[in-house]
Amino acid sequence: MNALRRAAFAALVLVAVSAAALFTFNNPGRIDVDVGFALLEGVPASVAFAAAFALGWIFGILSAAVTLLRMSADRRRLRRELRVTEAEAANLRSLPLPDAD
């Protein structure tokens, strides 16, 4: 199973590198990139595309990490509340019942 996973990962990397090489070959021109605070002139289109892709990927990973951290904190809070509620229920069960007489 581990060898299959490695082979699939290697194939995926090979496909990504091939796609990048094909994109670079088909787009040899240079472009100007305005990033708001600076103008980058004469940047190869493939480099601009790869940089945009990498920055988007990093932003997506960071967004997912923030969401996972919030969920983890929420789970800890809920577990703490559950322990308190269970302890309270156990204390209430141990109280003597008032006589119905």
Q: What is the pTM of this model?
A: 0.61
Give the phi and the psi of residue 17 in degrees, each rounded to 5.
-65, -40
Domain range annotation of the chain:
21-93
Sign of CA dihedral 41, 46, 51, 52: positive
E strand intervals along the chain: 30-34, 39-44
What's the confidence (pLDDT) of residue 12?
95
Query: Residue 101 pLDDT more than 70?
Result: no
Tell me the mean pLDDT in the region 62-81: 97
What's the confidence (pLDDT) of residue 36?
87
Q: Are 43 and 31 in contact (CB under 8 A)?
A: yes
Q: Convert the pLDDT of each residue in 21-41 to its tens digit.
A: 898 888 888 989 888 899 989
